[in-house]
Amino acid sequence: MKPQISKDIVHQETPNVVTTKRRPLLFLATYLIGVIIATGIFAYLRYRMFLRLGYDWDWSDEIGEIFGEFLVALFFLPGGLAGVIAWILNAIGIDFKLMNRGPFPGPASDLAWLLIGLSYLSYFILLVAGSLTKKQRTFRVLFITFIGLLIINIAGCSMA
């Protein structure tokens, strides 16, 4: 005898494939939000510097500067990883100069260039892996890692 299937039983369908076409946009939007946050931090620090020096803050003069800071943060945000590592090394007592301070901060050694390159590479790898994975749990882990790296880079850029 063959078992009969009742029409009254409702089976829950679980999709095996998670749509992945919007995931790169999610990574891009998250990165842009991080750039906006970093730009806001730069603008706030600039505003406080103006107040401390006794100058008046005029928005019409500063919009161009803020836009320039946005563009710099857009392209050079992954450089913040070297700033965070330099800060950690200095906090534990190792005086190793990774980043130059001043009006034009930048990498001071080949190790800093390597760290910045690895940061760029890790962003790219997380974006591609998160976009191509089929499992939702794997995507969440990769996306949270991406956000964590973004927070570290924002902190490193705001210390410059």
Spatial separation of the C-alpha atoms in residues 153 and 138, rounded to whole Å = 23
In degrees, rounded to 5, the angle at the alpha carbon of residue 10 between the alpha carbons of residues 8 and 13 is 160
38-86 tens-digit pLDDT: 999 988 888 888 888 887 777 777 888 888 889 988 888 888 888 888 8
- Whether residue 142 is predicted with pLDDT greater than 90 in this model: the reply is yes
Spatial separation of the C-alpha atoms in residues 159 and 42, rounded to whole Å = 10
Residue 12 — very low, low, confident or very high, per pLDDT cuts 50/70/90?
Answer: low
